[in-house]
Every structure is written in structure tokens, then in C-alpha cells.
Amino acid sequence: MSARTDSGTGIGRTDAGRVVGKVALISGAARGMGASHAVTLAEHGANVVIGDLLDDEGRTLAGKINAETGRDVALFVHLDVTDPESWQRAVSAAVGRFGGLDVLVNNAGIFTRGSVQDAEVDEWRRTIDIDLTGNFLGMKAAVPVMKSAGGSIINISSIAGLVGFKNRAAYAAAKWGVQGLTKTSALDLGPYGIRVNSVHPGSVDTPMTAGLKRGFGQIPLGRAAEVSEISDLVLFLASDESRFMTGANIAIDGGETAGNNLREDA
């Protein structure tokens, strides 16, 4: 679980309400960035459905959000993003408990290695299945419910969906696919008042990156992001403050994709 959700979250605050009354379903929300998105959205007045394979972590987080808000605003559902029926159950749970669905955050993902030469075919398929098809299936399940009142779909891509990413063929292909799926769906779903945007984080401190050897010299701001910094963007996109934004791909990367960050002595 993220530092943000381990420490005092301020979730009991009632002075902020940027997404009051909205219902948000977040995939991969038992830990890492997804958990932070769930906390932030609940903190700002949303009802949140936490979907993940990790039942214990997900239930614990939902219980913690409910305890801290003193209200029944969080629900955990077991969700495998590669399974269309699992998505149907998650969307039905959101509608059954909270009466609708306004926000979908397609956040679940895995990070796999390998160039075209050495990536295993099974690993390629698994990465595309979770990181790209998972988004497609989530949207497919959510859109029929969102169509009546409109909504906001936030697809979590990566800077690997904005530039090439060495030794990450499947991951980069999936994350670029998310960008294409997002822009195309913005065209298709705009007439229903459903907005679709993609978020492209750079390096973020989460369990996914905990074991990686990372350097920050190429990042103008010189550090990784905290999960809450990404959640602040997700909150904006979930809220009506972003009501004229759709089809956008937004880098949130400390400047990592701004250009070639040559050393001064290079």
C-alpha cells in the first residue's frame, strides 16, 4: 500500500468536494497508484469501488476509507481486468451499491521486460491482455451504464506510451495502444457526454518500481513522483473542472519527455 494510504490521509475532511456524489470504479486499486486514486477521490466526496486481484489488500483499503470517512463510501470487488464477466460484476456492484457509475479509472497494469528479440511470446500476450485489453474491457462494461448521464474515463498509460522505452517492447506497445484507444474512444463517446483521457506518468514510487534500479538524471525535476501527485491529476480529470477535456494525453513526468536532456558537459 502506498505511503499516502499508510499515513494519515486526511480522508475525514469534509471541506473539499470536487467529486461529491460521483461513483468511481478504479482497477488495480488495492495498492500503489490505484489505492492513492481511491483515497483521493473518496477524500473529495466520491463513492469508490476498488477493483483488484488482491482481495486482502483491497478489502483492508475499503475498510480504512470507510472508517476514516465515517461513511459507507468504499467497496472492494474482486476484479480481473482480462475477464469481461469480472468487469460486468464490478460495474453491477457499483450500480447496485451506489446507484450508477460516473468515473472509470483504468489503472491496473503490469510492467514487463524484453526487446522483440528476447521477450517471450506468452509474456507479450499477458502484457497486452492486462495493460491494453484490460482497458478495452473496462470501457466496454462501463459505457452502457455511463451513456445516460455521461462520465469520465481515465486511462492510465505511461511515458512508455509517448516515447520509445528501451527493452520494454510489450509494455510500450500496450501503453501506446492505450493512447490510441483513448483518442478513438473520445471521438466515439463524446456524443454521449463521456470524456476519455489518458494519463502518462513517468517514474512514480510504488510497489511496481520498488525493486528497479532507477536514475533520475534524465528527469528535469530530478526525482520520482509521489503517488498523490498523480492522483491530483486523476481527481481533476474525474471532476467537472475538466468538463471540456476529452481525447487528451497528459504527460505527468517531471519533464522526462520534454526533450533530450543532455548533460551540460555533453
Give me the residues that bind ligand NAD (CB under 6 A), please: 27-28, 30-34, 52-54, 79-82, 107-111, 130, 156, 158, 201, 203-204, 206-209
- CB nearer to ligand NAD: give 45 or 204: 204
192 is catalytic: no
Least separation in angstroms between residue 21's CB and ligand NAD is 26
CB-CB contact of 204 with 226 (8 Å): yes
- CB nearer to ligand NAD: give 69 or 158: 158
CB-CB contact of 175 with 129 (8 Å): no
CA-wise closest residue to 183 among 202, 169, 165, 200: 200
> And the C-alpha cell for 191?
456524443
- CB nearer to ligand NAD: give 138 or 151: 138
- CB nearer to ligand NAD: give 147 or 248: 248
Alpha helical stretches, state H, the chain: 3-6, 32-43, 55-69, 84-98, 121-128, 134-146, 169-189, 227-238
Least separation in angstroms between residue 195's CB and ligand NAD is 19
Q: Please calculate the CA angle 107-112-114 and round it to the nearest 5 degrees.
A: 150
Least separation in angstroms between residue 236's CB and ligand NAD is 17
Catalytically annotated residue among 76, 136, 171, 176 = 171
CB-CB contact of 139 with 104 (8 Å): yes
Least separation in angstroms between residue 192's CB and ligand NAD is 25
Active site (catalytic) residues = 171
